[in-house]
C-alpha cells in the first residue's frame, strides 16, 4: 500500500513527512466512509483463539482514519474495542511506578522544558549517591517497586557513569521489604556503547520521547544542544536495541505539534521497530505539555482537549494491542480515570518531579520539571484503582525471569495472562497491603484479592496463588 519499506529504511527515512501528510489526507478523505471504518473496526477487534485472544493491530493509515472520524457512535465503538483489547491482553491489572529525578542539569535548549540551559530561575540540582539512597528509601517506604529515572542531558554533570552509578545504588538499597526490582531509564539519546552499558546494568525499559515527529518543528523546538539533531534522536531506539536493550518505550509530547501528525508518526515508529527488530515498542507513553518554569504558556497552541486525548489513547490501543500504555501524573485523577478504561496499563503514583522531591512531606517547586495534576498519595491511588475495579500491580516478574522483548510479547499473545500475570499481581498487591497500606485500603484490597483469586482458570495455579497469598498475609514481614 505504501512506497516506503519499514524494514530497509532507517527510522528517520521511514517516518517521513510525505507519508505522514499523505496519511492525513487519506484519513480526512475517508473520515465519513462508514464501510471502510467498519472494516477497520472489525480488523481491530480481539478474536478468541485457543485459550486466549489474538489481535491484528492496525496500520498507521487505518488508525488515522479512526482518529479523524468524528461520528459519536464510532468513537463509542472505538472505546469499547479499546477496553476489550486491554482486558484481553492485560486483564484488569494496572502496573504502578514512580519517576525518580536524578539531575536537572541540561545543556539543551528545548523551548518547552524548564531544564533548558538558559533558564536562570530553576534551582539546578543533582543527587549524590547518598541522596539517591535516601530517595529510594522514601519511595520504598511508600511501597514502590518500579522506578523510572529521569535526567537532563549534560555530559559534565550527568555522564553515563553517573547514571550507571545511580542504577547500581538504586538496586542495592534493600530497606525493610522494599528492594526496587525494575529501573526504567528516561535519559537523552546516546550511543550504542552507552546503551550496552545500560543493558549490562540491568535496566528495564529504555524510554525516550520523540517530542514531535515533525522534523521542521523538532528543529525549531530544540534550537541548541545535542538534542537538536533530529536523525540522531529518531534513530535512538534502533541503537538502544542494537545495544541489547529489549524493551523500549516511545512517546510524543502532545501539544507541541498537530496531534494527527504525531499520531501517524508514532505508529510508523512502532511499525519500523517491529519490522527491523521483530518486536514493537514495549510501551507507549501519552504525555501532554504542562505549564513549567520559564516557559511561555502562550507558546504552545497545539494543546489538545480531554476528549481528543482520550480518543488518541483509544486509537493507539487498537493499533498496537500488545504494547503497554502509560499515563503519568501530568494528568488529573479525572482524566486518568477515563483513560484507564481505554487501554492504559501503567500509571505513576505519588510522583514528585523535582530533584530530591521525595525527601520531604511538602512538595518542592523550585527544581521541578512540571507541576503534577494528580497529587494523591500512593495509598490513595491504590485504593481508588480498586474502587474502580482495577488491580494495582507491583509485579516485575517478567523482567526478573527474562521475559522481555519478544518473549514478553509471546506471553501477552498466549492468553496466559490470567494464569500468570493475574496471580502475580495479586501476590504483589498482597505484599503492598501487608507492608504499606492504610487500614481502609487493606480492607478493600483483601476483599478484592479474595474475589480475583477465584478468576484464575488453572486449578493448580489457583491453589498455589491462594497458598502464597495466605503465607504473605501471615508472615511477619517488617
Q: Does residue number 267 form part of the binding site for ligand SAM (CB under 6 A)? A: no
Q: Which is nearer to ligand SAM, 62 or 293 (CB)?
A: 293
Give the range of 149-157, 268-276, 357-365, 422-430 binding ligand SAM by CB under 6 A.
149-157
Q: Does residue number 336 form part of the binding site for ligand SAM (CB under 6 A)? A: no
Q: How many residues bind ligand SAM (CB under 6 A)?
A: 21
Q: Which is nearer to ligand SAM, 92 or 135 (CB)?
A: 135
- Judged by CB under 6 A, which of 58, 138, 139, 187 binds ligand SAM? 187
Q: Which residues of 99-121 are buried (b: 16+ CB within 10 A; e: fewer)?
A: bbbbbbbbbbbbbbbbbbbebee
- Rounded least distance, CB 253 to ligand SAM, Å: 4
Q: Does residue number 270 form part of the binding site for ligand SAM (CB under 6 A)? A: no
Q: Which residues contact 268 (CB under 8 A, 6 or more apart)?
A: 6, 14, 15, 19, 20, 60, 213
CA distance 377 to 329: 11
Q: Does residue number 149 form part of the binding site for ligand SAM (CB under 6 A)? A: no
Compute the Cα dihedral for 214, 220, 221, 226 and give only its sign.
Answer: positive
CA distance 148 to 29: 41
Q: Does residue number 152 form part of the binding site for ligand SAM (CB under 6 A)? A: yes
- Rounded least distance, CB 225 to ligand SAM, Å: 9
Q: Does residue number 211 form part of the binding site for ligand SAM (CB under 6 A)? A: yes
Give the range of 84-92, 134-142, 205-213, 340-348 binding ligand SAM by CB under 6 A.
205-213
- Rounded least distance, CB 116 to ligand SAM, Å: 9
Residue count (the chain): 478
Q: Does residue number 250 form part of the binding site for ligand SAM (CB under 6 A)? A: no
CA distance 102 to 352: 11
Q: Does residue number 331 form part of the binding site for ligand SAM (CB under 6 A)? A: no
Q: Does residue number 150 form part of the binding site for ligand SAM (CB under 6 A)? A: yes
- Rounded least distance, CB 434 to ligand SAM, Å: 34
CA distance 11 to 272: 6
- Rounded least distance, CB 367 to ligand SAM, Å: 12
Contact criterion met (CB below 8 Å) for 59 and 270: no
Q: What single-letter DSSP state applies at residue 124?
A: P
- Judged by CB under 6 A, which of 78, 185, 253, 355 binds ligand SAM? 253
- Rounded least distance, CB 310 to ligand SAM, Å: 18
Compute the Cα dihedral for 301, 307, 311, 312 and give only its sign.
Answer: positive
Give the range of 10-18, 186-194, 310-318, 377-385 binding ligand SAM by CB under 6 A.
186-194
Beta-ladder partners of 252? 211
Contacts of ligand SAM in 96-115 (CB under 6 A): 112-113
Pairing of strands 93-103, 346-348: parallel
| C-alpha cell belonging to residue 393 | 500491580
| C-alpha cell belonging to residue 111 | 523551548
Using CA atoms, how far residue 451 sits from 345, 386, 391, 427, 444, in Å, is 21, 12, 11, 13, 11
Q: Which is nearer to ligand SAM, 15 or 448 (CB)?
A: 15
Q: Does residue number 381 form part of the binding site for ligand SAM (CB under 6 A)? A: no
Q: Does residue number 289 form part of the binding site for ligand SAM (CB under 6 A)? A: yes
Pairing of strands 206-207, 346-348: unpaired
CA distance 218 to 228: 8
Give the range of 191-199, 208-216, 241-249, 457-465 binding ligand SAM by CB under 6 A.
208-216
Q: Which long-range contacts (CB under 8 A, 24 or more apart) does 201-204 make?
A: 201/164, 201/167, 201/168, 202/167, 202/171, 203/167, 203/245, 204/146, 204/247, 204/396, 204/399, 204/404
Q: Does residue number 227 form part of the binding site for ligand SAM (CB under 6 A)? A: yes
Give the range of 125-133, 139-147, 283-291, 461-469 binding ligand SAM by CB under 6 A.
283-291
Q: Does residue number 290 form part of the binding site for ligand SAM (CB under 6 A)? A: yes
State the angle between helix axes of 439-453 and 378-387 in degrees (0 to 180), rounded to the nearest 10. Answer: 40
Q: Does residue number 330 form part of the binding site for ligand SAM (CB under 6 A)? A: yes
Q: Does residue number 249 form part of the binding site for ligand SAM (CB under 6 A)? A: no
Beta-ladder partners of 95? 346, 393
Q: Which is nearer to ligand SAM, 292 or 319 (CB)?
A: 292
Q: Does residue number 162 form part of the binding site for ligand SAM (CB under 6 A)? A: no
Q: Does residue number 195 form part of the binding site for ligand SAM (CB under 6 A)? A: no
Q: Which is nearer to ligand SAM, 93 or 227 (CB)?
A: 227
Q: Does residue number 257 form part of the binding site for ligand SAM (CB under 6 A)? A: no
Give the angle 164-167-173 at the CA atoms, nearest 5°. Answer: 140
Interacting residue ranges for ligand SAM, rule: CB under 6 A: 112-113, 150, 152-153, 186-188, 208-209, 211, 227, 253, 287, 289-290, 292, 295, 330, 369-370
Amino acid at each position: 500500500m505504501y512506497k516506503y519499506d519499514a524494514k530497509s529504511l532507517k527510522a528517520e527515512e521511514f517516518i517521513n513527512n510525505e507519508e505522514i501528510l499523505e496519511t492525513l489526507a487519506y484519513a480526512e478523505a475517508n473520515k465519513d466512509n462508514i464501510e471502510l471504518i467498519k472494516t477497520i473496526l472489525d480488523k481491530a477487534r480481539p478474536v478468541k483463539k485457543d485459550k486466549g485472544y489474538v489481535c491484528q493491530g492496525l496500520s498507521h493509515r487505518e488508525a488515522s482514519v479512526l482518529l479523524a472520524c468524528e461520528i459519536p457512535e464510532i468513537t463509542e465503538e472505538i472505546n469499547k474495542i479499546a477496553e476489550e483489547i486491554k482486558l484481553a491482553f492485560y486483564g484488569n491489572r494496572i502496573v504502578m511506578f514512580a519517576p525518580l529525578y536524578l539531575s536537572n542539569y541540561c545543556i539543551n535548549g528545548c523551548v518547552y522544558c524548564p531544564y533548558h540551559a538558559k533558564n536562570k530561575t530553576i534551582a539546578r540540582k543533582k543527587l549524590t549517591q547518598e541522596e539517591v539512597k535516601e530517595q529510594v528509601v522514601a519511595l520504598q517506604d511508600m511501597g514502590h517497586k518500579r522506578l523510572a529515572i529521569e535526567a537532563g542531558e549534560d555530559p559534565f554533570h550527568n555522564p553515563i557513569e553517573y547514571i550507571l552509578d545511580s542504577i547500581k545504588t538504586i538496586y542495592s538499597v534493600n530497606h525493610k521489604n522494599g528492594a526496587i526490582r525494575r529501573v526504567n531509564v528516561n535519559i537523552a539519546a546516546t550511543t550504542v556503547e552507552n546503551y550496552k552499558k545500560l543493558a549490562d546494568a540491568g535496566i528495564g525499559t529504555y524510554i525516550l520521547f520523540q517530542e514531535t515527529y515533525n522534523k521542521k518543528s523538532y528543529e525549531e523546538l530544540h534550537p541548541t544542544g545535542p538534542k537538536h539533531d533530529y536523525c540522531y534522536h529518531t534513530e535512538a531506539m534502533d541503537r538502544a536495541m542494537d545495544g541489547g536493550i529489549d524493551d523500549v518505550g516511545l512517546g510524543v509530547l502532545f501539544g507541541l505539534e498537530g496531534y494527527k501528525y504525531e499520531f501517524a508518526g508514532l505508529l510508523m515508529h512502532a511499525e519500523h521497530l517491529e519490522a527491523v527488530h521483530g518486536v514493537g515498542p514495549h510501551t507507549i507513553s501519552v504525555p501532554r505539555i504542562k505549564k513549567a518554569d520559564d516557559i511561555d504558556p502562550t507558546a504552545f497552541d497545539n494543546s489538545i482537549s480531554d476528549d481528543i486525548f482520550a480518543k488518541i489513547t483509544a486509537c493507539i490501543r487498537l493499533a498496537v494491542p500488545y504494547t503497554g500504555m502509560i499515563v503519568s501524573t501530568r494528568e488529573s485523577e479525572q482524566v486518568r480515570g477515563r483513560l484507564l478504561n481505554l487501554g492504559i496499563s501503567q500509571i505513576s503514583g505519588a510522583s514528585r518531579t523535582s530533584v530530591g522531591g521525595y525527601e520531604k512531606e511538602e512538595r518542592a517547586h523550585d527544581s521541578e520539571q512540571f507541576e503534577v495534576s494528580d497529587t494523591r498519595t500512593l495509598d490513595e491511588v491504590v485504593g481508588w484503582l480498586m474502587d474502580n475495579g482495577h488491580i494495582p500491580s507491583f509485579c516485575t516478574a517478567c523482567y526478573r525471569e527474562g521475559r522481555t522483548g519478544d518473549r514478553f510479547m509471546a506471553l501477552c499473545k498466549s492468553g496466559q495472562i490470567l494464569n500468570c500475570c493475574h496471580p502475580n499481581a495479586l501476590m504483589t498487591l498482597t505484599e503492598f497491603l501487608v507492608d504499606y497500606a492504610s487500614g481502609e485500603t487493606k480492607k478493600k484490597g483483601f476483599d478484592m484479592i479474595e474475589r480475583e483469586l477465584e478468576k484464575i482458570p488453572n486449578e493448580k495455579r489457583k491453589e498455589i496463588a491462594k497458598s502464597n497469598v495466605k503465607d504473605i498475609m501471615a508472615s511477619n514481614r517488617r
